Amino acid sequence: MKIGLKCAVVILFIYRQAVMLHELIFIHSCIAHLKQKTLWFNYDSTMGKLATSTDSFFSSQENAYRLRSQKVLAKMRLITFHTVTIFLFLTNRFKNCIIGIWKKIKIPDPEVALSTLMLFAITLIDTLSGHKSLAIQKSYLFKYFSPSWIAPLAFMLEVFLFMHLVACLLGMFGLKFVALCYIVMCVQVVFRISGYTGKYSDNMIKIPVDVFNDEVKHMLECECLDESVYATPKQKITMNALHAGVLDKKRIEVHGGIAETVPEDMNVILIHEIGHSIDNIMLKRLLLECFITLLEMLMFAWIFNSGHKALGNVDMSPETFTILTFVLYVCMGKAVVYTFYNLYSQNSEIFADSVVKDRGYKDDLFRILFKLTLDNRCVVDTTFLYNAMVSLHPSIRKRIEINADD
């Protein structure tokens, strides 16, 4: 039963664990170098010179890599627990036992209840492991009743009712409902990306363009951003900036306080964000996410229409099997699919860095990137596949070496 689905889960499990195991081996190799106060990259490179000229590099990076090691191990354990839970729910004996209990207490649509219970079990594992669960973040009833003991029950009820509604709509409208879901999800993407205002944007203040040098002023005017640079009062975070919005809503947001920032550094940071505007990164991300969503919806349309048989389904309705597959995809497969999205975003970061380099601020950029990495206790280097799976930014070593022309 569901042999194809089990094979897909196993393949995703092996791939993700192999990527993280490779990262873990690399981390321990870096820690060994840092203990001996040696580098695993060229001493004569720009990155090597920055590292050896910074007294705190070896100690701070050793701590950063140890922290990364703990996070990777925790994620590996979490994925293992997820996979074991999924296989438990996919076994005939366990499934029939749960469905039999649902029928005895007269819960409607016991197959949907099975998917609900599986999602609840995965969410519980996430919560106990200290990870943020996407399902809980999207749940209205959980937020309303939290931190009361009623919150988990309310969460289960909300998920069950939602899945039951989706199953009914799939049964009534079929592929038309899948098409409607795609439209709704694309609208959400458009509103989320085009209307993004940043985490600390409630008390934003506009920065007058006169505080920047003539080159930055000209670049801001060319990108129609001269009236769209904002900052927050000083926060307990390292100074950083982001490019947000698309088309006429494009803007640059500076977080962490601007008064204490060296003017030359602020110019470099602004040019980097202007580089994102030149590249239209937010618009391209929007289009790319809509395209990936289209591929996802086409996959679920195929599963609903005929693919459920190819995946080994013989005892569930197409509607409930499609819902079950969706839960498994979000849990195990979405991070792998969005690797391509992350890689595009990483290339956009390198393009924005090249804009700074072309304006003659290469050395200042490298110094700022290196300082931000140490201040935020981030690692300077990582493996390609792991970083592609978890981050929108390339490693600092890659960003520096690509633009350094060593």
Q: Please give the chain's pLDDT, 406 residues, in tens.
A: 466 788 889 999 999 999 999 999 999 999 999 999 999 999 999 999 999 998 899 999 999 999 999 999 999 999 999 999 998 888 878 888 887 887 777 777 777 888 888 888 888 888 888 777 777 777 777 776 777 667 777 888 888 888 888 888 888 888 899 899 899 988 888 887 776 544 445 567 788 888 888 888 888 888 888 888 888 766 555 567 788 777 777 888 887 655 456 667 888 888 999 999 998 888 899 899 999 999 999 999 998 887 777 776 667 788 888 888 898 998 899 999 999 999 999 999 999 999 999 998 899 999 989 988 998 889 999 999 999 999 999 999 999 999 887 5
251-255/240-244 β-pairing: antiparallel
Within-domain flag for 256: no
Within-domain flag for 361: no
Burial profile 252-273: b = 16 or more Cβ within 10 angstroms, e = fewer: bbbbbbbeebeeebbbbbbbbb
CA 286 to chain centre: 14
Query: Are 113 and 318 spatial neighbours (Cβ–Cβ below 8 Å)?
Result: no
Within-domain flag for 133: yes
Within-domain flag for 333: yes
- Rounded Cα distance between 320 and 112, Å, is 6
Phi, psi (5° rounding) for residue 139? -80, 130
Write the CB contacts of 247 (distance below 8 Å, at least 6 apart in sequence): 194, 283
Structural domains of the chain, count: 1
- Rounded Cα distance between 225 and 285, Å, is 19
- Domain hosting residue 17, numbered range: 3-173+319-337
Within-domain flag for 57: yes
Identity of residue 235: Q
pLDDT (tens digit per residue) in 189-200: 888 777 654 444
Within-domain flag for 86: yes
Write the CB contacts of 217 (distance below 8 Å, at least 6 apart in sequence): 209, 210, 226
Q: What residue has token string 């990364």?
A: 68
Q: Is 0.85 surpassed by the pTM of this model?
A: yes
DSSP alpha helix (H) spans, 174-311: 175-194, 214-222, 263-279, 281-302, 308-310
Within-domain flag for 255: no
Q: Considering just the CA atoms, what is the radius of gyration of the chain in Å?
A: 24
Within-domain flag for 44: yes
Write the CB contacts of 193 (distance below 8 Å, at least 6 apart in sequence): 246, 282, 285, 286, 289
